[in-house]
Amino acid sequence: MTMPQATDAAAPATLLGSEQPLCTAYDVALLDLDGVCFAGQARVPHAADNVNAARKAGMHLSFVTNNASRAPQTVVDKLADNDIIAEASEVFSAAMDAAAMLTEHVEPGSMVLVVGGDGVRQALLDEGFQVTSSAQDGPVAVVQGWDPAVDWALLSEGVYAISAGALHVATNLDATLPTERGFALGNGSLVAAIVHASGKEPLAGGKPFPGIYTRALKRAGGTRPLAVGDRLNTDHVGARAAGIPGLHVLTGVSDARDVICAPATERPSFLHTDLRGLTEPHPEPVRVEVDGQVWWRVCDRSARVLGSRLELQDFGAVTSPDGSAVRIDLDSYRALAVAAWDWADAQGRQGEAAALEVPEIEVIEP
């Protein structure tokens, strides 16, 4: 179960600028759901207004999610609860990705065992497959996606079928699933149980593999795509591996410190606190030298690396002796990120800025 690496076709591993709002500079947004459009049962500030505004500006939208348990209409209903306009045809889930992958390996109309829920079953039926929950029906493939109803008996049916020669396809390999109580078992952990029992590695779809983005883009019909996500190690690894620039927002899992310390394979192309970044221009970072020192300037904010610390002009070293979060504005955050990335690349640290002393950072909303 090997994770993907960025390809040579990927966008440059640094921040980009755009004189136009991103919703006009790019013609399709590949939007993550949880942590971007909503946060579990909670609303995400500025999400609805800006997603709907991007649509009104002419941007095509595709809602791309690793959640395999929800059928497209269920996703549409969830978005509607958050005042975001969407159609079922605009949803592309990891279940749909796995079903599309399966068409490349088995004959249409084949019997497929589902270790998952309604989202996986519906995706397979839409691709013309027959579905079953029993290995005794002789399935040629097993498609596994997370669902709370998956239990020992259903996992065992998957093992029986795979041991008998069925192809194993996983909708995604997320080890954990965020819940209100913390991180629970994700699909990848349940996939690992079947792999341990069967001894056979699965084909895997979903994020962070680039295929989910390329297939979602093909359905959406755009030519200038932008990926939007909150998780660096899934949303942005997949986007970069697919050669698609990404907008990172701070309304979900990966925080500002994670972004500043990100390895090259996880770096977004644009940064904002939230989805207002979709409808605004983005200033281009500028490299300047002052007295032999390299600074990175974003609008009127400048940052550099001095020793092992980050420094902001007119602010000083970005440190927190008491361990509290350092509060900075959006352009300072952008300048710090590009300065850290440039330093890491110049140091040959495999594109990773984690060796820097970076405190927790709170980005003040503009």
Tell me the residue length of the chain: 366
Q: Given the DSSP bridges, would you call strands 141-144 and 167-170 parallel, antiparallel or unpaired?
A: parallel
Residue type, position 215, single letter = R
d(CA 357, CA 268): 21
Tokens matching residue 156: 């065992």
Cα torsion 317, 318, 322, 328 to 10°: value is 130
List, in order, residues 6 or more apart from 152 with CB less than 8 Å away.
none
* Residue 345 appears among annotated catalytic residues: no
Identity of the residue numbered 153: A
The phi-psi region of residue 309 (left if phi > 0; otherwise alpha if psi is between -120 and 50; otherwise beta) is beta
Tell me if residue 270 falls in helix, strand or coil: strand
For 291-314, the DSSP string reads TTEEEEEETTEEEEEETTEEEETT
Q: Which of 179, 257, 239 is nearest to 31 (CA)?
A: 239
Which are the contacts of 26, defined by CB distance < 8 A and separation ≥ 6? 59, 222, 224, 225, 226, 245
Helix, coil or strand: residue 191: helix
Q: Considering 27, 34, 174, 258, which one is annotated as catalytic?
A: 34
Catalytic-labelled residue, pool 8, 32, 230, 331: 32
* 323 three-state secondary structure: coil
The alpha carbon of residue 135 and the mean position of all alpha carbons in its chain are separated, in whole angstroms, by: 33
Q: Are 173 and 1 in contact (CB under 8 A)?
A: yes
> Is 274 a known active-site residue?
no
Active site positions, annotated: 32, 34
